[in-house]
Amino acid sequence: MKRTLTLALVLVVAITTVSTGQSDGASITGSWTARFEGRTFLRLELKTENGTITGALSVGNFEVDRLGQVSRADEPPRSPTPIFDVKRRASILTFSRKDGDSIDRFEVRLLDATNAELKFLLDDEDRKQLAESGVPTPKPIHLVKQ
């Protein structure tokens, strides 16, 4: 009986982890950074206020190589830009930020408690402009929770 109960408990934990897309204790809120050649070039601060995820993003200028991997990066501005239109679905968070006159969209995929990937969500017009400039679509950027 004890073995059956233990097995049932293990199955419940495994099913819960798979259905939520997260491991125990893995939270999207916190301070996330991306580094290139030892320098931070991206900061993402996420917090929960009244049950809603809010935050800010600061990204330095960066370039990608022909494969879309970061090949050069500057430090981020000291003043982050607030994010909005935040939506969470299991281990994926999407949000927007205003960049001058345009709006940039992003997706953060939580990999585990301290690792995530940030992906730029580009529309057809963005892809066309990048292609015309000879710039490939950036690959997801690895984030580490601080």
The per-residue pLDDT string of the chain (146 residues; one tens digit each, 9 = 90 and over) reads: 444 433 333 333 333 333 344 433 359 999 999 999 999 999 999 999 999 999 999 999 999 999 999 999 999 999 999 999 999 999 999 999 999 899 999 999 999 999 999 999 999 999 999 999 999 999 999 999 99
Query: Are 46 and 58 in contact, with CB atoms under 8 Å apart?
Result: no
- What does the radius of gyration of the chain's CA atoms come to, in whole angstroms? 18
pLDDT value for 71? 97
Q: pTM of the entire structure?
A: 0.79
What's residue 18's pLDDT? 39
Contact 4, 13 (CB under 8 A): no
Q: Give the CA-trace dihedral at 21, 24, 29, 34, to 10 degrees.
A: -80
25-145 sits in which CATH class? mainly beta
Question: How far is 86 from 139, CA to CA, in rounded Å?
Answer: 21
Which residues are registered as beta bridge partners of 99?
102
Task: Determine the pLDDT at residue 84.
Answer: 98
Phi then psi dihedrals of residue 60, to 5 deg? -75, 160
Say if residues 23 and 113 touch (Cβ distance below 8 Å). Answer: yes
In the chain, where does DSSP find H-type helix?
2-20, 124-132
**How much is the pLDDT for 24?**
36
**The pLDDT value given to residue 3:** 44
